[in-house]
Structure 1
Amino acid sequence: MAGTTRILGRREIDVCGIAGWVDFERDLRQERRIAQEMTGTMACRGPDDEGLWLAPHAAIGHRRLAIIDLAGGRQPMTAGQEGREAAVLTYSGEIYNFEELRTELEGHGHVFRTRSDTEVLLRSYLQWGEDLAEHLNGMFAFAVWDPRAERLLMVRDRMGIKPLYYYPTAHGVLFGSEPKAILANPLARRVLEMDGLRELLAFVKTPEHGILSGLYEVRPGQVVRVSRDGIVKRRYWRLSSREHPDDVSSTVKTVRELLDDIVTRQLISDVPLCTLLSGGLDSSMVTALAAKLLREQGLGTVRSFSVDFTGYSENFKPDLTRSTPDTPYVHELARYAGADHSDIVLDSAALMDPAVRSAVLRARDLPMGIGDMDTSLYLLFKAIRGHSTVALSGESADEVFGGYRWFHDPESVAAETFPWLASPATAAHAGAERLFHDDLLRLLDLPAYRAERYRQALEEVPRLPGESGHERRMREISYLHLTRFVQILLDRKDRMSMAVGLEVRVPFCDHRLVEYVFNAPWAIKTFDGREKSLLRAASTDLLPDSILQRVKSPYPATQDPSYDEALRERARELLELRDSPAGRLVDWAKARATVDEPASPGSRAALERFVQLHHWLERYRVEPAL
């Protein structure tokens, strides 16, 4: 394929789905069918191979997206010590420092049978036990069953790039990469209680909250241990505050050195690799840096992809968040960096296709109500998957470097709430519950829920002695974004990409970069009077001035009036149903009035939520216990 980049590495890559069941009172060797059903729900994340390991009290499942050497990297993977089985691993993700770890482990006497980072991870457990996570650099979610101690460890990467959920039972636990794996087990109830609905609507993403009653997420940077004694949770990583030792020029230099190392590591692939390009600073920097590194190694041209909508650039209208269309900047950067670029152009019919929207809901497992921005991302990734298996993204740079407009809006900064909730740019998403019954809204009391979650988040912020005023406040806001807001976007990215078997890597989430920039004073982060000053300065040799100076523009939403009308028509159809499961929550009179009012971001967000909520309650057989 023209333009395909292959950077030959020496590892097997596993971008997969995991699932499992531990029960200390039941012989799970007799529950193969249920364990296979749980594992089978992860086929979207791993379409190429399936593995299942059964023991009296553990069923460990794995679905694999094979990159190379299928036999050598099969999972669940087992390892022995002193003549007996010592550990069983199911793992999703990538360990970027696996070669250094392998060398270190060989120095401790470990002998390897494969080239995989999976085996490096398994033997890291044998060497360091529960402390293995501190040694890892990468994106990962994994579970290790130790047959000797009858103990399960569930571990998630520091920034939460890869998802991992669990559901405690009377005698153990269910776990999986996504809720659907857990819900395939009859022990998991599908109940939505008041706090779950609050979390679904609040737009705050509380760590560990799984929405459905009894369902939890492993927190980023957390180890969860399950044994006969119960469940114990431990944070192995969290953001910490310390004095920043560098001036502006040294900080810019360090940021660039870190990004050079990060992107070099994340370019390793034995399969077609590409970048996601929006024409903004973040994705342009990743694309241009990847192009430069490939040229220097004589490894060809980087391939890039972007999303566009039929007639979008020609009929573009500026709004509160987007002042310019992406495509002109995308094409300029592709020419400047020498990328082999393709636009993926979508129309409203594709965005409203019932089969596509059903696939998106299935990927999400929850009615997030983002509508066309989820659907278009899914279709973009699906199109890319026809050409590439791995993509690099600029995701999370705004959270790391302070790129969103509300970082620089005095009213949003001063607001006693999450700053994105105080910004007009996101007010429509935060108010998507407006169709609910008034009595239910009073019971939900979302303002109080958001206020309590905000208070809890502020209590976590690591303080720097002597820091006060604006610097103190901007540390708080950075922390809120790096622990709450970024999770909303990383989860969306993971679900839409893995639903089509595409691995998306996020260089800006490398914990070394996150830790370093988090501790840079706000005055250094904005030294040129702009957003993302450090990233802009670190990119000056890579990008044309037009992109260096471009104002932040978020992921695009279609402006085609026919999309709004199709959405309204779908809502009208649902309003004709006498026994819609959403009827207990949604006020039909409010919904009908919204269908008939002029199109606006607020009405679109409310109708997207209504339509998705109906289908979620129906297809997932969720019981609202409100």
Structure 2
Amino acid sequence: MDFERDLRDAGDIAQAMTDTMACRGPDDQGLWTAPHAAIGHRRLAIIDLPGGRQPMVADDAGRAPAVLTYSGEAYNYRELRAELTARGHGFRTQSDTEVVLRAYLEWGEELAARLNGMYAFAVWDAAREELLLVRDRMGIKPLYYYPTPHGVLFGSEPKAILANPLAQRVLDADGLRELMSFVKTPEHGIFKGMYEVRPGQLVRVGREGISKRRYWQLESKEHPDDVDFTVKTVRGLLDDIVTRQLISDVPLCSLLSGGLDSSAITAIAAKGLRDQGLGPVRSFAVDFAGYTEHFKPDLTRSTPDAPYVHELAGHVGAEHTDIVLDSAELMNPSVRAAVLRARDLPVGIGDMDSSLYLLFKAIRGHSTVALSGESADEVFGGYRWFHDPEAVGADTFPWLVGGLSPLTGVDRLLEDDVLRLLDLPGYQDESYRRALAEVPALPGETGHERRMRQISYLHLTRFVQILLDRKDRMSMAVGLEVRVPFCDHRLVEYVFNVPWALKTFDGREKSLLRAAAADLLPDSVLQRVKSPYPATQDPGYDRALREEARALIERGDPACAQVIDLDRVRALIDGPAAENGGDRAALERMLQLDAWLGEYEVRLAL
């Protein structure tokens, strides 16, 4: 969008930006231009395959056009359609896209508060000469923008914006701090001058400039319900949420790990599909060659997934498939390059990203939509640091305490001068203070209950976005839509206000979810201790990673040498394999940083 140029003459640039989103929308494309706006779209067709083409234009007689480009799903679009029809709106299609567009015509930006779903969209209102950017409440779908002297560039991913020559590929000290901190700062786009629309935020761009407003945020409320009623409410919400998210005109499946979260979603989906006469649920799980037979418990995983996966699949009658990977696939240069391209940033977590990408790529051969158990740990308090007194009592983000997370550590490879410049502890502390200042207070809430509300808020606003972004990028890179039932805002709002003592009423993590799913799951799955997404334990992977890092620094003058101390990298390569994966994660991030600086032609401005 540009108020000083005729963008009808910029079709080639707009098309180039749109083409970068081909992975997110392999089924169709469209481009709409006007004097001051150019709107592009790539479509992944899920609902009303022939009718939902975009950009979608509403040009009712006597009204300047409103144009929508929309990503995601509105799970309550049928109710909204009925309401809009009663208000006099006519519909040409059966798509949820047209419902969102008509909702804008009826309610303007207030439509966002009426939507239930995952979405990121832009509306160009020609009458107002204004662009509206909207992102869903939990940030399931990404949306970025880049202010220019006379307008703005926007896109679902940074790569779309970077395809425009007005966008500079610059990383300043603040961007590098964000990359190294394992904290997701709201609105931070990493690249200098780029911003991410915050979850639950509206951004308006007009001739007068840019304005922002949050249409949703967590609020603290008294919770009057007892244990039984709370469990019943959680189950009722989950049944409704999953049933809504089964809506699809293309094949749908479930991601199954054999843990409580994904098993509950799979079981509810299986029941919902049976009730609709739609046959068994399809389920998929990732596994590694020899993983179960040679599994060794580590700091975060006490059991392999496969036995629990197969028991649950049999229990609910799922049509199940294991996607079995080996180290050669995980280290394949083309796979690693695809992961970086999907991420746009060196924020990956190594083989766990590669395996997720390969899992989704395999699933895409069978299904276009998948249900995921992601975010249950943030909503119900499942991570072990929720229950670790040191982490709970620490005056920082709990996932950064005492090496609880093996996903950090690349900072120890930085040059000393860079470390001093960045002051990462100071940056993390400042970010932590800003987050704490946002936590809504409940009158009279003190002590442990108050602290656990703070920790829940930190996870729902600063941690879950890291994982949601990972899942969205890896899935949309292969044209697979992943839905996240635990991120339904009704469930998030309700459970956020359940007192911690009630959330852990049986002395376990995720007591409410376990109780709500008790009749759905076999006891072994129901009682299974939390086990994160798996990482390969093949020592061959570690050796291959070290050799790749050695080859990089021996080639001379790698791009990452601008900030990385290569002697520290050599010491890490020649050292023993780390049991907790911390050294491996540091090498993974270093290699990805080097590839990113080179392939994205990033200029450092520290």
Could you say what secondary structure the match of 1:540 adopts?
coil
1:84 aligned partner? 63
Task: Give the match's secondary structure for 2:21.
Answer: helix
The amino acid across from 2:220 in the alignment is: S
Does the 8 Å CA contact 2:408/2:582 hold for their aligned counterparts? no
* 1:457 aligns to 2:435 (yes or no): yes
Query: How many matched pairs?
Result: 604
**Letter matched to residue 60 of structure 1:** I
The answer to whether the aligner puts 1:155 opposite 2:134 as a matched pair is yes
* 2:412 aligned counterpart, secondary structure: coil
Using the size of structure 2 for normalisation, the TM-score is 0.99
Cα distance, 1:297 vs structure 2: 2.5
The answer on 1:538 being equivalent to 2:516 is: yes
Give the Cα separation in 2 of the matches to 1:423 and 1:492.
Answer: 24
Match of 1:283 among 251, 262, 269: 262
CA contact (8 A) 2:48 2:249 kept: no
Q: Distance in 2 between matches of 1:423 and 1:325?
A: 25
Q: Which residue of 2 aligns with 1:52?
A: 31
Counterpart of 1:619?
599
Partner residue of 1:415? 394
TM-score, length-scaled by structure 1: 0.96
Given the superposition, is the C-alpha separation of residues 369 and 121 from structure 1 closer, same or farther in structure 2, using an over 3 Å criterion?
A: closer
* 8 Å contact kept, 1:78–1:85: no
Give the corresponding residue for 1:509. Answer: 487
Alignment-derived partner of residue 554 in structure 2: 576
Indicate if the aligned counterparts of 1:142 and 1:156 stay in contact, CA closer than 8 A: yes
Aligned: 1:318 with 2:304 = no
Cα-Cα RMSD:
0.9
Secondary structure of the 2:323 match is strand
Deviation of residue 82 (structure 1)? 4.0
State the SS of the aligned residue for 1:476: helix
Q: 2:532, 2:481 → 1: CA distance?
A: 22
Cα distance in 1 between the residues matched to 2:601 and 2:403 = 35
Separation in structure 2 between the aligned mates of residue 602 and residue 93 of structure 1, nearest angstrom:
35
**Residue 471 of structure 2 corresponds to residue 486 of structure 1:** no
1:57-456 correspondence to structure 2 within 5 Å:
57-67=36-46, 69-426=48-405, 428-456=406-434
What amino acid maps onto 2:286 in structure 1?
A: V
Give CA deviations for 1:9-31 in whole Å, capped at 9, x if unaligned.
xxxxxxxxxxxxx0000111111
Equivalent residue in structure 1 for 2:2, among 6, 23, 33: 23
* Inter-partner Cα distance in structure 2 for 1:425 and 1:419: 8
Q: Which deviations, in whole Å up to 9, do the C-alpha atoms of 1:514-559 show, x marking residues without a partner?
A: 0000000001100000000000000011001111111000000001
**Separation in 1 of the partners of 2:95 and 2:603?**
43
1:68 is displaced (CA, Å) by 5.6
Tell me which of 553, 556, 570 is aligned to 1:592: 570
Q: Give the conservation status (yes or no) of the 8 Å contact 1:48–1:63.
A: yes
Residue equivalent to 2:532: 554
Cα deviation per residue 1:493-526 (whole Å; 9 max; x = unaligned)?
Answer: 0000000000000000000000000000001100
Residue 606 of structure 1 pairs with residue 586 of structure 2 = yes
Identity %: 76
Output the CA distance in 2 between the equivalents of 1:66 and 1:150: 29
For 1:89, what is the secondary structure of its paired residue? Answer: strand
1: distance between equivalents of 2:323 and 2:541? 18
| In structure 2, C-alpha distance between the alignment counterparts of 1:372 and 1:380, rounded to whole Å | 12
Match status 1:41 vs 2:25: no
Q: Which letter does structure 1 place at the counterpart of 2:288?
A: F
> Alpha-carbon deviations, 1:326-385, whole Å to 9, x = none?
111101111111111110000000000000000000000001141000000000000000
Q: Determine helix, strand or coil for the equivalent of 1:270.
A: coil
Deviation at 1:482, TM superposition (A): 0.4
- Structure 2 equivalent of residue 18 of structure 1: none
Check whether the contact 2:47–2:248 (CA below 8 A) recurs between aligned residues: no
Q: Quote how far apart the aligned CAs of 1:577 are.
A: 2.5
User: Gapped runs of 5+ residues in structure 1?
Assistant: 1-21
| TM-aligned CA deviation for residue 86 of structure 1 | 2.9
Q: Distance in 1 between matches of 2:268 and 2:37?
A: 45
CA contact (8 A) 2:48 2:93 kept: no
Give the deviation of 1:618 after TM superposition. 0.4
Query: Which deviates more, 146-155 or 570-579?
Result: 570-579
1:434 shift after superposition = 1.1
Offset of 1:69 from its aligned partner? 4.4
- Residue 576 of structure 1 and its aligned partner are, at CA, apart by 1.5
Q: Is the 8 A contact 2:49 2:249 kept in 1?
A: no
Amino acid at match of 2:468: L
Asked if structure 2 preserves the Cα contact closer than 8 Å seen for 1:165 and 1:177, the reply is yes
Aligned-partner Cα distance in 1 for 2:49–2:433? 48
CA contact (8 A) 2:409 2:583 kept: no
SS at match of 1:430: coil
In 2, the alpha carbon distance for the partners of 1:578 and 1:458 equals 45
**8 Å contact kept, 1:369–1:605:** no
- Alpha-carbon separation, structure 2, partners of 1:589 and 1:317: 32
Larger CA deviation: 156-165 vs 364-373 = 364-373
Amino acid at match of 1:515: E
Task: Report the CA distance between 1:67 and its aligned residue.
Answer: 3.4
CA distance in 1, matches of 2:602, 2:542: 28
User: For structure 2, which runs of at least 5 residues remain unmatched after alignment?
Assistant: none
Partner SS state of residue 85, structure 1: coil
Distance of 2:156 and 2:82 partners within structure 1: 29
